Amino acid sequence: MKNNSKPFFQLIVDSYEKYHHSVLLYIYYRINDEEEAKDFSQDVFLRLMDYKQILCADTVEHFIYVIARNLVTDYLRRYYKKREITSFIYDTYSGSTNEVEEQIVAEDILECEKYRMKLLPLQRRRIYNMSRFEDKTIEEISEELNLSRRTVENHLFISRKEMRSYMKQCI
């Protein structure tokens, strides 16, 4: 199957016109954030262009919804992970009413985390730091470090696992 550039881009344009609104609603229904849903619906069609070699009129709708589902899943994972961390910190230290004491405990935990982060291999440390302290997404990290998305995911998975294990010992 050989794709010419013009028919491929016309397929993208036609797909955008046909499916954009329904993709936007699909994403909005799941994440309930209008601005994020608009961004993600645009990202769907940008990512669709990565499949130039295998995309055809018969498969384009399937690709669009798979990409949308994956973007929503990634977003929800990050969202619930942040909520889980915030909830854990709040639940663990909500019993103390002294703000100075809370601040000291938070600083101690941060120092433990930074100490353990220094022990990570260089690449893993950079990726963890960019994700944790610079709030960068996996896509942003992979672009900045010229690594594949999967490599960044693997480094984050391993570093987070190591960090959780270490932090349990500290607490």
pLDDT in tens, 52-102: 788 888 888 888 999 999 999 988 888 888 777 777 666 665 555 567 777
Q: Mean pLDDT of all residues in the chain? A: 84
Least confident of 4-13, 31-40, 137-146: 4-13
How far CA 84 is from CA of 60, 78, 88, 91, in Å, comes to 36, 10, 6, 10
Q: For position 166, what pLDDT does the model report?
A: 84
Q: Specify the amino acid at residue 86.
A: T
What is the C-alpha separation between 56 and 51, in angstroms, rounded?
9
Domain boundaries 1-95, corresponding CATH code? 1.10.1740
Percent of the chain with pLDDT over 70: 90
| Phi, psi of 146, rounded to the nearest 5 degrees | 55, 50
- The residue among 126 and 58 whose pLDDT is bigger is 126
What is the C-alpha separation between 157 and 128, in angstroms, rounded?
9
Q: For position 93, what pLDDT does the model report?
A: 59
Domain boundary assignment for the chain: 1-95, 96-170
Closest by Cα among 38, 20, 18 to 28: 38
Q: Spell out a b/e string for 113-125, using b for 16 or more CB atoms within 10 Å of the CB, else e.
A: beebbeebeeebb
Least confident of 19-23, 37-41, 164-168: 164-168
| 8-state DSSP, 50 | G
Please check whether residue 113 is in contact with residue 163, taking contact to mean a CB–CB distance below 8 angstroms: yes
Whether the pLDDT of residue 22 is over 90: the answer is: yes
> Is this structure's pTM higher than 0.75?
no
Q: What mean pLDDT do residues 144-166 have?
A: 90
* 124 CB-near residues (< 8 Å, 6+ apart): 155, 158, 159
Q: For position 66, what pLDDT does the model report?
A: 92
Domain boundaries 96-170, corresponding CATH code? 1.10.10.10
